[in-house]
A = this chain, B = another copy of it.
Amino acid sequence: MPTIYDVAKKAGVSSMTVSRVINGKRDVKPETREKVLKAIEEIGYVPNSLARSFVLQKTKTIGLVITDITNPFFTTLARGVEDTAMKNQFSVIFCNTDEDPEKELLYLEVLARKRIDGVILASASGKRAPLKSLLIKNIPTVLIDREIEGLDDLDVVKGDSVQGAYLLTKHLISLGHRRIGIIVGNRNISTAEDRVEGYKRALAESGIPEDESLVKFSQYSREGGYNSTKELLSLKNRPTAIFGGNNFIAIGALVAIREFELKVPDDIALVSFDDIESLSQVYPFLTVVTQPAYSMGVIAAELLIRRIEGRDKIEERRKVILQPELIVRESAGEKLAEGVRGEGR
């Protein structure tokens, strides 16, 4: 593969002149520029950003570490990150951790070795933070969706899980539900705790006593939703509504509910944190709280890139909290509820 020296020789100039032409620097006579451009064309020269990155100590690449690109929330978020990166001439390396802290660590190590300029991280590690090692190595990092305890100096872009869960729970309560099961992810993950907190706040506000058997810290996955829902449905005093802590949990819950030969919303209500766009467009059924995933990705990427480019040198740590939105559809039995509420229950 031809190098900058091949071009230089062909054009009868030094490699520095070629370098200047490629990088659009001034200090090159127009005729010289033409000569060089022609040589590049003829030779079919493609600059080697590897070498460039190596001397400049910047790679124009960021890492995106999420749990699963297959989750529509992260898909959309990833799209926001990529679009923004692209706009700023950055590339994105993407990594799926599957909620496995070890895999996360492995990926971060790889990314650090590649000397990426920064990381956007939806961490699976939560409280235990072995990844500290990495972050200490001074890679600019923006946490997304989830916070990490003990790393309070990092930028964060996330949704307001407490408020979202509060809204959703309130909605269920307003429809007459008093026994509401909630299923969230692993206790280590900040969103899991936050969503339970919002849920409990709504209960408290309505004077409904907490029942720990209705609160399931499980996994943010279909299996998690499925298993925990079966547990909830097997309770002597079965809940009348289930709050799926994310979209995958809600899907798993639905499968379990179907297995119990129950109907949503007639026999049991089901709501979800995070929408599933492709579903809602076809079948606007699930009542959900939705987060601006795309914006989240965009904002995180912008923040990170600004940090990388050093435009934010003086600035303090940033924490961006985006507000969720309640979208009422049918899965909580809204129509039925009209009547229930009408009876002044």
Contacts and interface: CB of A to CB of B under 8 A. Distances in A.
Interface in A88-141: 91-96, 109-110, 112-115, 133, 136-138
Nearest to A68: B79
Q: Which of A46, A59, A92, A137 has the most CB of B within 10 A?
A: A46
A77 B79 CA distance: 15
Interface string A32-63: 00000000000010111111011000010100
Interface of A: 1, 44, 46-51, 53-54, 59, 61, 68-70, 72, 75-76, 78-79, 82-83, 86, 91-96, 109-110, 112-115, 133, 136-138, 222, 247, 251, 254-255, 276, 278-279, 281-283, 285-286
Nearest to A115: B50
Contacts of A278: 72, 247, 251, 276, 278-279
A344 to B, nearest CB: 34
A95 B186 CA distance: 31
18 contacts: A44-B136, A46-B113, A48-B113, A49-B114, A50-B54, A50-B114, A61-B93, A69-B78, A75-B75, A79-B96, A82-B94, A82-B96, A83-B96, A86-B95, A93-B94, A276-B279, A279-B283, A283-B283
A214 to B, nearest CB: 23
Nearest to A137: B46
A258 B50 CA distance: 52
A93 B92 contact: yes
A69 B72 contact: no
Nearest to A136: B44
Nearest to A272: B282
A94 B74 CA distance: 14
Given A93-B94, A283-B285, 8 more contacts: A50-B115, A79-B96, A82-B96, A91-B93, A91-B95, A222-B281, A251-B278, A276-B278
Nearest to A63: B91
Contacts of A109: 46
A45 B115 CA distance: 12
A86 B98 CA distance: 13
A155 to B, nearest CB: 21
Contacts of A1: 137-138
B48 A115 contact: yes
Contacts of A137: 1, 44, 46
